[in-house]
Chains A and B, each alone.
Chain A
Amino acid sequence: MRSDHNRVPADLLTLTDLSKAYPGVLANDGVSMGIRAGEVHALLGENGAGKSTLVKMIYGLVKPDSGHMALDGQPYAPAEPRAARAAGVAMVFQHFSLFEAMSVAENVALGMERPPRLRDLAARIRAVSESYGLPLDPGRIIGDLSAGERQRVEIVRCLLQDPRLLIMDEPTSVLTPQEVEILFQTLRKLRDEGVAILYISHKLHEIRALCDTATILRRGRVVGTCRPAETSAREMAETMVGAAFAAPARLAGTPGDVALDLSGLSVASPAAFGTSLRNIHLSVRKGEILGIGGVAGNGQDELLAALSGELRTPADAIRLQGRPIGRLGPAARRRLGLLSAPEERLGHAAAPEMSLSENTLLSAAQREGLVARGFLRRERMRAFASRIIERFDVRTPGPDTAARALSGGNLQKFVIGREVLQRPEVLVVNQPTWGVDAAAAAAIRQALIDLAAKGAAVICISQDLDELMEISDRLGVLNEGRLSDIRDAASLTPEEIGLMMGGAHGMEVAHV
Chain B
Amino acid sequence: MNLGHIDPALLLAALLVAATPILLAAIGELVVERAGVLNLGVEGMMITGAICGFAAAVETGSPGLGFLAAAGGGAVLALLFAGLTQFALANQVASGLALTLFGLGLSSLLGQGYVGIKPPPTPHLDLGPLGDLPFFGTVLFSHDIVVYLGLALVVAVWAGLKYTRSGRILRAVGENHDAAHALGYKVVRVRILAILFGGACAGLGGAYVSLVRVPQWTEGMTAGAGWIALALVVFASWRAGRVVLGAWLFGGVSVLQLNLQAAGVAIPVEYLSMSPYLITILVLVIMSANRSRAPGSLGRVFHASG
Give A residues with C-beta under 8 Å from B.
Answer: 22, 56, 60-62, 80-82, 84-85, 93, 95-102, 106, 109-111, 115, 272
Contact = CB atoms under 8 A, between A and B. Distances in A.
Interface in B175-227: 175-176, 178-185
A121 to B, nearest CB: 12
Contact of B183 (A100, A102, A110, A272): A110
Contact of B168 (A60, A61, A109): A109
A82 B184 contact: yes
B163 to A, nearest CB: 9
Given A80-B184, A81-B183, 4 more contacts: A61-B306, A95-B178, A97-B183, A99-B179
A99 B184 contact: no
B176 A93 contact: no
B292 A272 contact: yes
B182 A61 contact: yes
Nearest to A84: B184
Contact of B165 (A22, A95, A115): A115
A96 B184 contact: no
A200 B296 CA distance: 29
B296 A101 contact: yes
Contact of A97 (B169, B179, B295, B306): B179
Contact of A111 (B183, B293, B295): B183
A81 B176 contact: no
A86 to B, nearest CB: 10
Contact of A60 (B172, B180, B184): B184
8 contacts: A81-B184, A85-B184, A97-B176, A97-B183, A98-B179, A99-B180, A99-B296, A115-B165
A22 B179 CA distance: 21
B296 A110 contact: no
Nearest to B293: A101
A53 to B, nearest CB: 9
B172 A99 contact: yes
Contact of B171 (A61, A84, A99, A272): A99
Given A99-B175, A100-B176, A110 B169 contact: yes
Nearest to B176: A99
A99 B175 CA distance: 6
Contacts of A111: 183
B184 A102 contact: no
Interface string B277-306: 000000000000000110110000000001
The 6 closest A-B pairs by CB, nearest first: A81-B184, A97-B179, A97-B182, A99-B175, A82-B184, A80-B184
A438 B246 CA distance: 57
Contacts of A61: 181-182, 184, 306
Interface string B249-277: 00000000000000000000000000000
Contacts of A80: 184
A96 B178 CA distance: 10
Given A61-B306, A62-B306, A272-B292, A81 B172 contact: no
Contacts of A93: 182
A62 B305 CA distance: 9
A110 B306 contact: no
A96 B179 contact: yes
A41 to B, nearest CB: 22
Contacts of B180: 97, 99, 110
A146 B168 CA distance: 23
Interface in B61-120: none
A200 to B, nearest CB: 15
Contacts of A98: 176, 179
Contacts of A60: 184
Contacts of A85: 184
Q: Most B CB atoms within 10 A — which of A82, A96, A101, A102? A: A101
A359 to B, nearest CB: 22
B184 A101 contact: no
B170 to A, nearest CB: 11
Contacts of B293: 101
B139 to A, nearest CB: 37
A288 to B, nearest CB: 39
B296 A100 contact: yes
Given A100-B176, A102-B172, A102-B175, A81 B182 contact: yes
Contacts of B165: 109, 115
Contacts of B184: 60-61, 80-82, 84-85
A101 B175 contact: yes
B135 to A, nearest CB: 42
Contacts of B296: 99-101
A97 B172 CA distance: 10
A173 B191 CA distance: 33
Nearest to B169: A110
A99 B176 CA distance: 6
Contacts of A82: 184
Contacts of A100: 175-176, 296
Nearest to B292: A272
B167 to A, nearest CB: 10
Given A81-B182, A93-B182, A110 B176 contact: no
A187 B176 CA distance: 28
B120 to A, nearest CB: 46
A81 B175 CA distance: 19
A101 B172 CA distance: 9
A61 B292 CA distance: 31
Nearest to B171: A102
B180 to A, nearest CB: 8
Nearest to A98: B179
A82 B292 CA distance: 31
Nearest to B179: A97
Contacts of B178: 95, 97
Q: Most A CB atoms within 10 A — which of B175, B182, B293? A: B182
A102 B181 CA distance: 16
A81 B186 CA distance: 11
A106 B168 contact: yes
A60 B136 CA distance: 58
A108 to B, nearest CB: 11
B168 A110 contact: yes
Contacts of A101: 175, 293, 295-296
Interface in B124-140: none
Contacts of A97: 176, 178-180, 182-183
A61 B179 CA distance: 12
Contacts of B171: 99, 102
A368 B24 CA distance: 57
B90 to A, nearest CB: 16
A110 B168 CA distance: 8
A268 B184 CA distance: 36
Q: Most B CB atoms within 10 A — which of A82, A95, A97? A: A97
A272 B291 CA distance: 9
